[in-house]
């Protein structure tokens, strides 16, 4: 929901906003941002990865965000910063801001008389707002969104198209919820009665903090008894599944297709990479990074980077290794027997 407006800023203005040192002509104007290998006149780009350094001598950009040690190699105006990628993110927000909310209620929206909606909020076509819902100032409720009874949306939060918010769920301020997200669906709770599954009512809710972004088609289940909790500043990618009673600490990030089992606790400033699975009832302390496609089957109590799984190999090599893996127990047993025999002979 960003918009490309005809913004023009001098390099001097940009440098002041991000506290950068300018080496070169600070009066030049920037009209947009671009990738290093696609930059042209009027653009601002950045250099972070060494693999892109080869593009620097021939860049057509008007200016480049980079670190001090690379400034002498820059053929155009340089903006020297500690972290070019973070600086690029902040500059991009200047040139591509979120669209302004246009206050008002669309005539096709179905809104309960018992809902409380700020006069500065916008509710889009065919949205459904049930009784007891509270929508704060400058919120955006997109087309087809459903806010069930008693849910609350904090100031400045934006729900894009077809977002579903369950009864009693709470979203903090300045959130951004992308299309198709489901927050507060029933958790997966069943008891086995001699081979038959008996549903356990899911009576908790989902409580989400401030400045949270949730990617398209992600599902966050309501709690079974306790609430599912998402901390402040958490960023969640597309197609993530978060089970009931999960707790995620402040400023953690979860990448696409990760699945978090019910009642797991993830600390603050954690990073769960794409395709990772966490079994239920686990605990990850603050500062844990789990690399892509890992399977976490036990709690982690020390900060650090953790991995599992097998990296890709040529198919024939992988098949040979896989066949040997099935014989590993037998091979180890034979080796142990051989060692015992050698030890006996030496004695």
For residue 223, the tally of other CB atoms under 10 A from its CB is 24
By C-alpha distance, which of 174, 134, 130, 180 is closest to 160?
180
3-state helix, strand, coil in the chain (%, to 5): 20, 30, 50
**DSSP structure class, residue 229:** E
Task: Give catalytic status of residue 301 as yes or no.
Answer: no
For residue 306, the tally of other CB atoms under 10 A from its CB is 15
By C-alpha distance, which of 284, 257, 269, 276 is closest to 231?
269
C-alpha–C-alpha distance, residues 115 and 121, integer Å? 13
Q: Which of 32, 226, 244, 322 is catalytic?
A: 244
Write down the number of H helices and E strands in the chain.
4, 39
Beta strand pairing call for 277-278 and 295-296: parallel
Q: Which long-range contacts (CB under 8 A, 24 or more apart) does 144-148 make?
A: 147/115, 148/184
Helix (H, G, I), strand (E, B) or coil at 53: helix
Q: Which residues are catalytic?
A: 244
């Amino acid at each position: 929901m960003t918009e490309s407006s005809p913004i023009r800023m001098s390099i001097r203005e940009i440098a002041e906003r991000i506290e950068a040192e300018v080496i070169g002509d600070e009066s030049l104007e920037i009209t947009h941002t671009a990738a290093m290998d696609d930059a042209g006149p009027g653009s601002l780009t950045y250099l972070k990865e060494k693999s892109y350094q080869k593009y620097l001598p021939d860049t057509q950009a008007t200016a480049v965000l980079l670190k001090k040690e690379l400034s002498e190699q820059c053929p155009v105006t340089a903006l020297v910063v500690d972290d070019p990628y973070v600086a690029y993110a902040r500059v991009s927000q200047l040139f591509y801001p979120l669209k302004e909310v246009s206050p008002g209620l669309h005539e096709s929206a179905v809104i309960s008389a018992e809902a409380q909606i700020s006069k500065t909020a916008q509710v889009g076509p065919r949205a459904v707002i049930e009784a007891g819902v509270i929508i704060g100032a400058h919120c955006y409720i997109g087309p087809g969104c459903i806010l069930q009874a008693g849910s609350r949306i904090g100031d400045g939060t934006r729900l894009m198209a077809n977002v579903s918010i369950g009864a009693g769920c709470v979203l903090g301020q300045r959130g951004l919820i992308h299309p198709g997200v489901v927050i507060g669906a029933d958790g997966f709770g069943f008891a086995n009665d001699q081979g038959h599954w008996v549903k356990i009512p899911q009576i908790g809710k989902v409580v989400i903090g401030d400045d949270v972004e949730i990617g398209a088609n992600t599902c966050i289940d309501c709690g079974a008894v306790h609430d599912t909790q998402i901390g402040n500043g958490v960023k969640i990618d597309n197609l993530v599944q978060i089970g009931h009673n999960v707790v995620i600490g402040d400023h953690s990030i979860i990448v696409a297709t990760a699945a978090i089992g019910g009642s797991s606790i993830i600390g603050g400033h954690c990073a769960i990479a794409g395709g990772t699975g966490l079994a239920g009832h686990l605990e990850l302390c603050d500062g844990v990074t789990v690399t892509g496609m890992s399977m976490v089957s036990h709690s982690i109590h020390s900060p650090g980077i953790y991995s599992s799984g097998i990296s890709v190999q040529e198919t024939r090599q992988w098949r040979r290794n896989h066949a040997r893996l099935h014989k590993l127990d037998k091979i180890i047993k034979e080796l142990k027997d051989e060692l015992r025999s050698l030890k006996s002979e030496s004695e």
